[in-house]
Chain A
Amino acid sequence: MELKVVLPTILILAIGWQALLPRLRLVGVVAAAAAACAASSLMGGASTRDILAAVPWDVLVILVALGALSSVLAEARVFERIAVGVARASRGDPRRFYIVVSVSMFIVSGLVNNLTALLLVLPVVLVILRLITPDQRYTTWTLGLMLVSCNLGGAATPIGDFPAILLLGAGRMDFVSYLSQASISTAIALGLLVVFVRFAVQPAGRLPRDELTRRITLRVAETMHRGVRLNRRLAIPTFLIAAGMMTAWVFVPPSTGVSADLVAWLGAALALVIAGTAGERVVRSSVDTESVLFLLALFIMVGAVRTTGLFELAGQALVSLPVRPSVRLVLFLVTAAVLTGVFSAGPSMAALLEVAGVLARDLEPDAVYVGLALAVCAGSSLFLTAATSGPLAQAMVERADLRDAGGSRLHFGFREFLPVGLAAFATILTVGVVQALIRIA
């Protein structure tokens, strides 16, 4: 059997495994990566050393560094302050609450690791929801919109989430180009979604307008955080370092040798040193080993497949389709979105970026890459299982034991999320396709 068959088979089996058995996804992909290396080495393909050398370590460095910065901000109580700000801005009013939550999470997720943000803000959101005593419809759309906003925020900036970090780290796009295009597109997608939810879905439509519940919700939320203070000693240096990193990403050209990963590494290291014992705690216990191992295993498998020339072939096949370039691009983006919905963002982006590289030779590269980032974002928002934050949010909601005013238990699972996911998928993908078509027109 040829390597061109064996290696893609291992990759597809691993991607299928992690989609079907999320509880065993890490052991599955790590074992599959080892199998890919073994197959390649023993069947005359690239050696393990060569495959490991081709891993985009810079992307992993950026991912870990940004995660560490987020954790230092968490130690500084930034996210609790954000949660209080959300409660105050909403004034305890359910009609404002879901909008404030979604816009806030969009902004926060663009700047820090969205999983960290979700882990720290969602518990407070859940307490507020329990105080509001919502119905199923309100619960579904508030939490669903929140998750989609996290995905959109992550795609809005080059440092928000893995797909965008991959583009930045791999040098496919520079910081400013990505930010200027993706931030506008994702903001438009969020705006369209919020308008759709506000006027077409009207999630708060069946909730009574109740001044007492509104006042109690706000006051309990404030009382819960009455003494929580921002740790300025940690927060101010970390914010300044983050601002310095962004300035470096914008103004320092990679030709100087100061690459995006070096900026991230230096910035995170400085923030951790300044944080002292809190920094040590972050390094020891808050580094997202699961994500790093998962992506490393994917990179190894994708790298092994790349050596067979299969991605190049797939890209060439796409390029040679007898249709207009714009149709080709749309086909690619829709396929990318659906594949992401099924297989999740990490595997899809890692594999599809190779194909996108071939497309970008004939089309405006920025259109292809930003379009791909938005398509992956759309796919991540399609099903609750498509992004890591989905199952996490589901587990947290189940533990929170949300109930409606009559005492009936409220749920937030795959079925409940699906209408939100379909609306988000259609909206984000449409915006992504339109911006890509405008760009190549």
Chain B
Amino acid sequence: MTAELPLGLALSFTVATAEIGMFSAARLFVEEIALTGGRSAVEAARDVLGRRYAVFDAIASQWLSRGRIPLPDPAEVACELADSSRVLIVGAESDALDRLVPMLPDQPIALVSGAGGPEADLHRVAANYPDRIEVVSLGKWTAWAGSKSALLTFVYGADDHVANVSPAYLRLVGPDVRASFRTLLGWNLLGARPRLHPLHLAETNVSDFSVLVAHGDVDWN
């Protein structure tokens, strides 16, 4: 079965996750694999890529069970951020940001760069949101802190106690950072925690977030 898949698929996926985010890359790959190879190819890809990328495994499983992949619903996140004066974001998920940014027309938004891990040129990412998103280096986060500031990151599955986040988030968030933002918002893109151990993600306590927005199952492909 694996012979049908390109040998370099895992490497391509790694590149895509850095450029457009892990959830968005997994959705794109599953869609394209399904289009070119159908269900059997998605199953094969899940076997090959899923072992290394738990998010891909979860998205592929979702497609296999439901035949479609839900896009992130930004309504609740936008509602939680409505009173924030500015929003600092760790991580770049194109599917999520494309929907959220238009719903926050008045708040300045910034992406944190230099937090480590696979990271694209965030200026290139920000160029997709002309005059809306700027890029700040990790050391400059204090300029975005404040009593009405929010820190947003993407969560790749959570249960009652533990949430999977990018390691970059943990590099930024310490006790001093937590105290400097009014809202620490986790946007859960996957729902339940992946069934496989996520090698490329870190774990954090759910209680660290002031708000954890659960996966919205509204906007379908």
| Residues in A lying within 8 Å of B, measured CB to CB | 77, 80, 123, 127, 130-133, 208, 210-213, 215-217, 219-220, 223-229, 231, 403-407
**CB of B76 within 8 A of chain A?**
no
Given known A-B contacts A80-B127, A229-B130, A213 and B9 have beta carbons under 8 A apart: yes
The reply to whether the CB of B48 lies closer than 8 angstroms to some CB of chain A is no
Q: Which residues of chain B from 168 to 221 have any CB-CB distance to chain A below 8 Å in the complex? A: none
Does any Cβ of A come within 8 Å of B105's Cβ?
A: no
Which of B33-41, B54-62, B144-152 lies at the binding interface?
B33-41
Q: How far is the CB of A131 from chain B (nearest CB, A)?
A: 5
- Known contacts being A123-B124, A229-B130, A403-B11, is A224 close to B32, with CB within 8 Å? no
Bound Cα distance from A357 to B210, whole angstroms: 75
Contact indicator A219/B15 (Cβ below 8 Å): no
Q: Which residues of A contact B36 (CB under 8 A)?
A: 211-212, 215
15 contacts between A and B (CB under 8 A): A80-B124, A130-B12, A132-B12, A133-B8, A208-B7, A212-B5, A212-B6, A212-B33, A213-B8, A223-B28, A226-B94, A227-B129, A227-B130, A228-B130, A231-B130
On B, residues with C-beta under 8 Å from A are 5-9, 11-12, 15-16, 19-20, 24-25, 28-29, 32-33, 35-37, 41, 94, 98, 120-121, 124-125, 127-130
- Inter-chain contact A212/B32, CB cutoff 8 Å: yes
- Within 8 Å by CB of B8, from A77, A219, A220, A405, lies A405
Give the distance to chain B from A345, nearest Cβ to Cβ, in Å: 29
**With a CB–CB cut-off of 8 A, which chain B residues contact A406?**
7
Given the complex of chains A and B, what is the CA–CA distance between A217 and B32 in angstroms? 10
A219 CA to B30 CA, complexed, in Å: 12
* B29 with A216: CB separation less than 8 A: yes
Q: Is the interface of B mostly helix, strand, loop or mixed?
A: helix
Please name the residue on chain B nearest to A210 by beta carbon.
Answer: B6
Task: Check if B7 sits within 8 Å of A123, measured CB to CB.
Answer: no
Q: Which B residues are in CB contact (< 8 Å) with A405? A: 6-8, 11
Name, among A132, A210, A212, A405, the residue most crowded by chain B CB atoms within 10 Å (CB to CB): A212
Q: Which residues of B contact A228 (CB under 8 A)?
A: 127-128, 130
Contact residue among B8, B16, B35 (Cβ-Cβ distance under 8 Å from A404): B8
Alpha-carbon distance A231/B33, docked complex (angstroms): 35
> In the complex, what residue of chain A is closest to B31 when comparing beta carbons?
A219
Nearest B residue to A215 via CB reads B32
Query: B128: which of A123, A133, A212, A226 is its contact (CB, 8 Å)?
Result: A226
Q: With CB as the reference atom, state the residue of chain B lying closest to A83.
A: B124
**B127 neighbours in A (Cβ, 8 Å):** 77, 80, 225, 227-228
- 16 further interface pairs, Cβ-Cβ under 8 Å (given A127-B19, A212-B37): A80-B127, A127-B120, A130-B12, A210-B6, A212-B32, A212-B36, A213-B9, A216-B16, A217-B12, A220-B12, A220-B16, A223-B19, A223-B24, A224-B19, A224-B128, A407-B11
Residue of A nearest to B12 (CB): A131
Alpha-carbon distance between A231 and B131 when the two chains are bound, in angstroms: 11
A219 touches B32 (CB 8 A): yes
In whole angstroms, what is the CA distance A210 to B37 when docked? Answer: 12
